[in-house]
Amino acid sequence: MRAVKFAGAAVAAIIIVIVLLLVIGVPSGFLAATIASRVEQATGYRLSIDGTTKISLWPTLNVTLNDLTLADPKDRSGMTRVTIDTVQADMSLASVWSGHPEISEIVVSHPVLYQPLLRERLPNADASPKPLALNMDGATIDRVKITDGEVAFSRARDRVEGRVSAINADVVTGRDRKVNIVGTARVGEHPTKFDIKATSPAPPIDRQTVPVDFAVDMPDVLKSQLAGHAELRLNGTVVMINGVNGTLGDGAFNGWASVDIASKPLVKLDLDFQRLTIPLAKSPDGAAGQAWSDAPIDVSGLNYVDAQLRISANEAVIGEARLAPLALDAKLAGGILKAGTANLGAYGGQVSGEVILDATSGAPSFAMHSDLVGVRALPLLKGLAEFDRIDGKLQAKLALRSAGTSQRALMANMQGTAFVNFQDGAIRGINIAQMIRSLTSGTLTGWQDNPNQSSSQEQSTDLSQLSASFRIDKGQAVTTDLNLIGPLVHVTGAGTIALDTKMMGFRVEPKLVMTTEGQGRTSEPVGFGIPVMITGPWSQPRIYPDMAGVLDNPEAAYAKLREMGKGLFGPDGAGLGNILNSFGLGGTGPGGGNAAANANPQVQQPGQGQGQNNLLGGQLGEAIGNLIQQGLSSGAANGSGRSRSLPGNPTTPVPQASPAPPIQDPPQAQQDSQPMNDVMRQLFNR
């Protein structure tokens, strides 16, 4: 790529043409060859003037040239060239008579620089070209105005095109060689504004230092202005940029760069930032569940430039995530980009990993591996992925690869493995114990946020550890070892996360710890007895009991309910017996007990504390008791067969137990009663 050299040659050609016209006079046919020869001697490029040439003497001397083309004679394809619709020059007639023309303004209309894109560096591309030696013949130029300019990049074999369009610029020069360039352009679809100030050395400019101050505004890409100072020096085909320092927003930076403009560009860059801000697109409010975009992702430009980059920062802000410190090394060669970081600081932990992006084919592919150790999950996930449901110390190992031309395609083709482990944190937006109670009365729809409560009062489940390993194939992340351990809860399960559709399906087994000894006690946690399904969009999943799983084996569910009765339905499950007796099922329920007392569960028994006022043994027992009562009541109302309704009232009245004898363990035969089996069947609507 020789865009800088080519642009300089175009300016030189324009000036030479104007000076010759002024010296020789009104043009005629024989002047074209003379002008073309002088331009080729000064620049090495061939000029052709295919349009008309006009001279006006009023109100000032004005020269107009139409349809100019400047081409590289060594380029047989004719791809590298500059075309100009019109060039107009205004000057005073007196200065022309003096022999030192003073050009007040040159207007260049619709110049287009055509630059072919190269995948490989050409042979002998490093050979130093002839230095540009421009003889102005004593002429001076005060202002150059460019309107509707373009730089067109293309490679016909790859069907790739790109443009920097709508270039409008004013170049003002002073007698002290100060040059000020102000203008606007559109880089792709991104509007850009630039302001450049430089001091031009006396010709030849090769190997001379040019101090430059610059300011660039590109709102779509950079959320703040890029401004700074640098010293440029042209060494053959290499532009050296030394002493770079400036600011990007509120972050200062310094470093150096170089660009080899012979053939395929080679960029070398080393910048160190105090604070580097990289904005990420944020989802609109209420759009968390929107599908991945099908908009094409074009990274084909990586094939036409080589680069060696090193970016470091004391603090980096990516989206809303803050990382400190940052050290990123990247190399781009042959359309393959490799970028890696080691010991990146992130929220009390460290991140290391590497990303490889291959843009050589039509569908770009990437592969990555990363290790996260001791990183606080909530601010990291919220800042990078707008996910704020899990907090805790995160340890993760990721090995992923995919290919595609859009977000949706990349997610649908995702493959690899992932292991995540959260410790000493919480799941925000859901209280599992309260969830179990709520499931007895209806299905939950989504995370249970309460906008009327403060953040300190929002529902959550404390966790000591949450871990899962995923095997990912074609966008489906499957786990069979989901494990959550909390002070008062233990959840195991398995399921699938569909990365392409943002859907999830999990079947989990929640268990509650009914003692303050927590997970460290010797007895097992008490299970809900009914598997729980979590399905639907991962932003708003439905959470409901898996009744089908219970009905597959009602005897096992009955046994589980009896087991739960020991801790949930009062001492020895007496509360469960109360429920059964209140519906006329007779006998002593699981755990036996005083039938007279059981007949009225509202009466506080001697020796019971205030916390045992409810014989159902707490909120969970009360909830499951409500579930049983709902099933029994609906069965009584239906009055249908034995498997779907309550059995008839027993013909023998329920005997009143004497308060004198101590409570005895119930016979095994009484626990596994047919009426209770009917209760379970009615409870689950079978």
Which of 130-134, 345-349, 659-663 is predicted with the least confidence, judged by mean pLDDT? 659-663
Share of the chain above pLDDT 70, in %: 63
93-113 pLDDT, tens digit per residue, is 777 677 677 888 999 999 999
Rounded CA separation 488/356 (Å): 43
Q: E-strand spans in 156-201?
A: 160-173, 178-187, 190-199
Is pLDDT above 50 for 659? no
In a domain, 517, yes or no: no
Section 395-409 average pLDDT: 94
Q: Give the residue, 543 or 24, on which the prediction is more confident.
A: 543
Is pLDDT above 90 for 597? no
Query: What does the pLDDT read at residue 124?
Result: 63
Rounded CA separation 336/178 (Å): 41
In a domain, 250, yes or no: no
Q: Give the residue, 616 or 36, on which the prediction is more confident.
A: 36
Section 494-500 average pLDDT: 93
Rounded CA separation 456/502 (Å): 29
Confidence of residue 419 (pLDDT cuts 50, 70, 90): very high
Which of 52-66, 132-146, 290-304, 450-464 is predicted with the least confidence, judged by mean pLDDT? 450-464
Query: What does the pLDDT read at residue 653?
Result: 44
Is pLDDT above 80 for 245? yes
In a domain, 221, yes or no: no
In a domain, 502, yes or no: no
Query: What does the pLDDT read at residue 79?
Result: 78
CA distances from 420 to 339, 387, 423, 628 (A): 23, 15, 10, 38
Query: What does the pLDDT read at residue 135?
Result: 54
Is pLDDT above 90 for 580? no
Residue 302 CB partners (closer than 8 Å, separation 6+): 332, 335, 337, 357, 359
Section 134-159 average pLDDT: 83
Residue 536 near residue 503, CB atoms below 8 Å: yes
Confidence of residue 586 (pLDDT cuts 50, 70, 90): very low
In a domain, 195, yes or no: no
Section 271-280 average pLDDT: 86
- Total domains present in the chain: 1
Which of 284-298, 373-387, 528-542, 660-674 is predicted with the least confidence, judged by mean pLDDT? 660-674
Is pLDDT above 70 for 617? no
Section 499-509 average pLDDT: 90
444-474 pLDDT, tens digit per residue, is 555 554 444 444 346 777 888 999 999 999 9
Is pLDDT above 90 for 317? no
336-350 pLDDT, tens digit per residue, is 999 999 888 888 899
Both structure tokens of 204: 């030849």
Q: Give the residue, 234 or 681, on which the prediction is more confident.
A: 234
Confidence of residue 257 (pLDDT cuts 50, 70, 90): very high
Section 529-547 average pLDDT: 77
Rounded CA separation 584/629 (Å): 12
Query: What does the pLDDT read at residue 369?
Result: 95
Closest CA relative to residue 136, chosen from 110, 108, 106: 106
Task: Report cis status (omega within 30 of 0) of the bond before 537.
Answer: no
In a domain, 491, yes or no: no
Confidence of residue 267 (pLDDT cuts 50, 70, 90): very high
Confidence of residue 85 (pLDDT cuts 50, 70, 90): very high
CA terminus-to-terminus distance, the chain: 77
Both structure tokens of 162: 């790109």
Is pLDDT above 80 for 228? yes
Query: What does the pLDDT read at residue 607?
Result: 39
Query: What does the pLDDT read at residue 285?
Result: 53
Closest CA relative to residue 250, chosen from 215, 269, 223, 212: 223
Closest CA relative to residue 647, chosen from 685, 674, 684, 686: 674
Confidence of residue 159 (pLDDT cuts 50, 70, 90): confident
Q: Give the residue, 652 or 674, on which the prediction is more confident.
A: 674
- Alpha helices in 86-212, H assignment, sequence order: 93-98
Is pLDDT above 90 for 306? yes
Both structure tokens of 363: 């569908």
Is pLDDT above 50 for 600? no
In a domain, 33, yes or no: yes
- Alpha helices in 318-445, H assignment, sequence order: 377-385, 407-412, 432-438
Residue 533 near residue 507, CB atoms below 8 Å: yes
What domain range is 67 assigned to? 1-120+134-173
Which of 383-397, 522-536, 569-583 is predicted with the least confidence, judged by mean pLDDT? 569-583
Half-sphere exposure of 286 (CA within 13 A, CB side): 0
Is pLDDT above 50 for 12? yes
In a domain, 385, yes or no: no
Is pLDDT above 70 for 34? no
Query: What does the pLDDT read at residue 20?
Result: 59
Section 381-401 average pLDDT: 86
Gyration radius of the chain over CA positions? 40
Average pLDDT value for the chain: 74
Strand-strand pairing, 542-545 and 390-403: unpaired
Section 137-151 average pLDDT: 86
Query: What does the pLDDT read at residue 131?
Result: 52
Distinct helix (H) and strand (E) counts, the chain: 13, 31
Query: What does the pLDDT read at residue 664?
Result: 43
